Amino acid sequence: MALPGRAGENLMSLVIEDAGFSPDMEVDKLRLEVILEVSNIVIGACMGQFSSLLETSISYNPPNVFLYQITSDRFREHIRAKGSEALLIFTKFTEQERAVTGYLFFFLSDRCLDWVYSEVDRFLELNT
């Protein structure tokens, strides 16, 4: 999950402070834990919807969180090094008047991407 600017701190605030929870943990570790947990929830929801829509089973690896700035050059290097493509999903978390926006990236290998295309083709054939 990519959270621009201070979005990580804002997300932590939405999840923790508003619930009245004050954990005994350093701020960087807490931010990492919040981002990991929210990422797991969002990924699970997205994968669950894809799986349901395509009427198939999907497995995935747990998310990675990097607490440093990633530039587009670094991002491209990562995709090329993995020999994969990226699927981008825009996310927005809202609580009353506050909102946190970010991006969720799924890195798909060529094999996985071929599978996704074949599942989409199968879905379209069954539903047309």
**What is the reported pLDDT for 20?**
60
pLDDT tens by residue, 66-79: 666 777 787 778 77
Confidence at residue 23, expressed as pLDDT on a 0 to 100 scale = 66
d(CA 42, CA 105): 11
Domain count for the chain = 1
**85 to 48, 64, 82: CA distances (angstroms):** 20, 16, 9
- pTM over the 0.85 mark: no
For residue 21, the model assigns a pLDDT of: 61
Distances (CA, A) of 90 to 19, 105, 124: 25, 9, 24
Residue-level pLDDT at 47: 85
In angstroms, the CA 59 to CA 115 distance is 12
Domain-located, residue 41: yes
What range does the domain containing 121 cover? 7-126
Contact partners, residue 4, CB within 8 Å, separation at least 6: 101, 102
Stretches in the chain below the pLDDT threshold 50? none
Whether residue 2 lies inside any domain: the answer is no
